[in-house]
Structure 1
């Protein structure tokens, strides 16, 4: 893309880097400077007119025109005129004027007429950081079919988008985007974005490549892996064979058995070393316990802030929190990050570099329990391979319902009954301290009631430095846990059967799903109550009838609209205007095929 220095500055001002992105800045309207012989009521229109009179009132200029093309007298009115406007209208002059004509009972008026010189064509109007005339010149100079084809578009899509910038009479019809135009815009938007993602993907030589089979290990398990767990493990097995360092994201719903995929990856890597970073001490401990149980042949280490520093080079599998970043780590052939969204990009990259051998990089797997729409997974695959685990090893039996103030006594009865069965209850409050902005109790306001009426009540929240210890104590000895959304991810609470979410309408559907996923982890009957002051909420009603995290992600799209979501898709500030995640899987497939991703 060869641009002059001046035009490069204009592209920068528009926030674009390619002809494709320029083509997406479509006009918001058009001005039709063709001369018509018929009146177009209440539409902007060009007249070939002689000025018959000019009258200047205190706040307006009134001009009488005779429109030769229409054979009609028209009264022009300019409100709050600027001084220069008066000079455009001289009695006896014949020129071309443009404005909206409105006729009532034979009298026609033109609002805010302006003198024009570009006659006979339809002109696009843009709302951009550039003046319209500057934008028009830029578009005329660079938006050519040749330039769009050189960017990789096919001819049909190039023609469809060019028609929006260089319109004909049909383009103006009804001012609605045609199906063809809309499809072209969706395609270009995705094509441009995914090509950029693919360009950012970097390939490194792997520390090692192996092809150890996981079958001997899976046969020792006391349960059968699900088809989707096996598919994810097979994907990883194929990755580990390559001499290019793998980059894969495994996205699984709450309770879908990602831990077994992690352990299978570590098993396949043996005798080479694997390292796993988890976001909390509780999670690291749980993973360590599972690894000891199901990987007896591996020598496993646990690294947290509490563990003593030691030489880790004798271990096959090192599991830890971000404390790993501050230890001397031996080289590893595989790096895994659990709940990857809980770590910053910097931390994830730091771990990868810490254990790299010179120019060679370890295979890299990241795991997430936040399901994403299928379409997003397909888009993300431009820069990282993606495996989805959409099923769970066993179906959870959880009743979900929306409740209000009038249901409180029924809720209390249920809580007492569950505690009597030695089950545990979680109540999630929106805030720790009282707030006048919120029509719900905070933890500080509510805890007194629960502590007075129940035994073994534990309280924690995000700012509580001892929260991990509180959760561990609650797991062993508690009946009731009062908390904020700090329990959203991670800890396994086998006896937890009920979650009550106060002010549920304030939380995203994926957060509600994560909280609901805390209960019924071991097959017990579960209950999720969404407490709200809203009389009716279609969003919450649909949530209680949806159990799959991937369906929840699509439901979230329906209520949030994909434009909002996409803003954060790649953390690059890129915003999709045309693509709809819930609807446009077909377009994504086409773009992937064309880009050979």
Structure 2
């Protein structure tokens, strides 16, 4: 049996422990006794046996609700034997005979588990663990004193060992492939920008520069909050990689990145060096030739990239990586590889994650976090209900009069019998009647991208669903109203709120609910930090917060708690890096 298999077995905590020491006093739990049988009384319902319990020097009646034939053979008047039972109301309830005393025995849910542990568990088979943790697990299964089954110590060892096992397996899944080492300096590009990058952006660019310089393929996930400046990190990567591609989930996002790339990669630095950085947009509607594809320094596109004859690239970037399947990401990688030499691979996400999850993920891929924002966001978040509707309308009218835009997010497109909020179909008539420049779209709308573009240029109010969570940049958007807000996770609410005030202007987020006292909604009022909100979201999900009538729990572990055990995780990571890394 391998060390890891043994460790998995060692993590099966005993159901209970039977302490069969002959204590000379009573415990507040089942215990063992040396008992002489003084008398036996039988009735139709119960059997009573009078015992003299020698180790505590007391006479006590034992009560049997079930008294079988084998009991009659064992329990005979005048006989002395060892028994185990629990005392309630000064009588022993259903005591059972025991053959071994003065030891502590672990109790398991099956004989098979008991035999597995007895057969395989040893210090030798747990030598992959720190000695103290291994000792605690061994003693948990084979205790000799009550100190060996101290709950706190066992709980810590189980948490430690469980997350260790998980990280160790993840680490062994890391695959190493050859890639072209690119020695490049991002400073000329960074210096040419008309704004200063944040320290977090600079740190991530340095991480990527270091990745690109190695002859093994980089696999890095870059996670940044809404508005943290991930696009500039992508463009810095493109500049360093010399030949690369960015795949975005929608043509709107691809267009936005293309506009930024064309503006900054062909800005001051290009003029000074007289070298055009060739950027090509690849979507279903964009125009490009085979020559463009082959000679591009940077390809920016949607899924359309997967259906082209792509050149060999030094780096591939995927934006909003969770919106693509594993097969799509793998296909892009394959299309741009040169034989066994793969491009460096960078994935970007705007969904902040808790630190525990980032640390866990980093055992499989490298992770960089962009927490700083280029400017401080100024967004007022308010919980409202139908009594605030009149004030909300006044606010919306004022914002539109200032040339700003408003988004109303409905939970459903069509009416539902089991729903106590309006859908788009039910609510749209009001907005169309009292306001001009109202646009309507949702996830299943085939024309949603065209509608969003037209709204950006001409609209006042957008009626939509959470499709707006990730997507088009709306420079004039200052207000978002989220209907039935308590039905969404905090991370989704934060993403929606992050759509407003993207360019430093004052923003407003209204959480419309029938329950103003919802604890989660009250929590989101306190912070604009996406990473703190991710921690909160995890905390509420672990608590089994009910959304859509289902328990949304990301429970992965039996003992390790992602919301409370960050210290244990950090300790395990240090141990693996020090003792088990190549």
Task: Give your verdict on TM over 0.5.
Answer: yes
Unaligned runs of 5+ in 2: 267-275, 546-553
Contact 1:404–1:531 under 8 Å retained in 2: yes
Contact 2:406–2:480 under 8 Å retained in 1: yes
1:101 equivalenced with 2:73 (yes/no): no
Within 5 Å, give how 1:358-373 maps onto structure 2: 358-373=339-354
Pick from 38, 42, 48: which aligns with 2:25? 38
1:112 is paired with a residue whose SS is strand
Contact 1:101–1:111 under 8 Å retained in 2: yes
Rounded to whole Å, the distance in 1 between the matches of 2:47 and 2:383 is 62
1:400 is paired with a residue whose SS is strand
Contact 1:563–1:575 under 8 Å retained in 2: no
Rounded to whole Å, the distance in 2 between the matches of 1:32 and 1:56 is 32
Rounded to whole Å, the distance in 2 between the matches of 1:204 and 1:407 is 58
Within 5 Å, give how 1:32-431 maps onto structure 2: 32-41=19-28, 43-51=29-37, 52-53=39-40, 55=42, 57=44, 61-79=47-65, 81=66, 90-92=75-77, 93-103=79-89, 108-127=90-109, 131=110, 133-149=111-127, 152-171=128-147, 177-178=151-152, 180-206=153-179, 208-270=180-242, 273-296=243-266, 297-307=276-286, 310-311=289-290, 312-431=293-412
2:256 is paired with a residue whose SS is helix
Contact 1:99–1:112 under 8 Å retained in 2: yes
Rounded to whole Å, the distance in 2 between the matches of 1:294 and 1:111 is 82
Rounded to whole Å, the distance in 2 between the matches of 1:67 and 1:381 is 60
Give the TM-score taking structure 1 as reference length. 0.88
Contact 2:384–2:516 under 8 Å retained in 1: no
1:223 is paired with a residue whose SS is coil
Give the TM-score taking structure 2 as reference length. 0.90
- Which digits, 9 at most, give the CA deviation of each residue in 1:294-339, with x for residues without a partner? 1222212222233467422122211111222222222211111001
| Structure 2 counterpart of 1:538 | 519
1:98 is paired with a residue whose SS is strand
Unaligned runs of 5+ in 1: 4-16, 565-572
Q: CA shift at 1:558, angstroms?
A: 3.0
1:578 is paired with a residue whose SS is coil
Q: CA shift at 1:94, angstroms?
A: 4.1
- Which digits, 9 at most, give the CA deviation of each residue in 1:503-551, with x for residues without a partner? 1111111111100000001122100111111141232122111011111
Q: CA shift at 1:415, angstroms?
A: 0.7
Rounded to whole Å, the distance in 1 between the matches of 2:347 and 2:398 is 40
Rounded to whole Å, the distance in 2 between the matches of 1:214 and 1:2 is 47
Contact 2:542–2:555 under 8 Å retained in 1: no
What root-mean-square deviation, in Å, do the aligned CA atoms of Structure 1 and Structure 2 show?
2.4
Contact 2:47–2:67 under 8 Å retained in 1: no
Residues 82 and 465 of structure 1: CA distance in aligned 2, closer, same or farther (over 3 Å): farther
- Which digits, 9 at most, give the CA deviation of each residue in 1:238-270, with x for residues without a partner? 111100011111111100000000000001111
Residues 20 and 217 of structure 1: CA distance in aligned 2, closer, same or farther (over 3 Å): same
1:187 is paired with a residue whose SS is helix
Rounded to whole Å, the distance in 1 between the matches of 2:221 and 2:199 is 18
May I ask how many residue pairs the two structures share in their alignment? 557
Rounded to whole Å, the distance in 2 between the matches of 1:82 and 1:397 is 75
Contact 1:163–1:171 under 8 Å retained in 2: no
Q: CA shift at 1:492, angstroms?
A: 0.2
1:430 is paired with a residue whose SS is coil
Contact 1:61–1:86 under 8 Å retained in 2: no
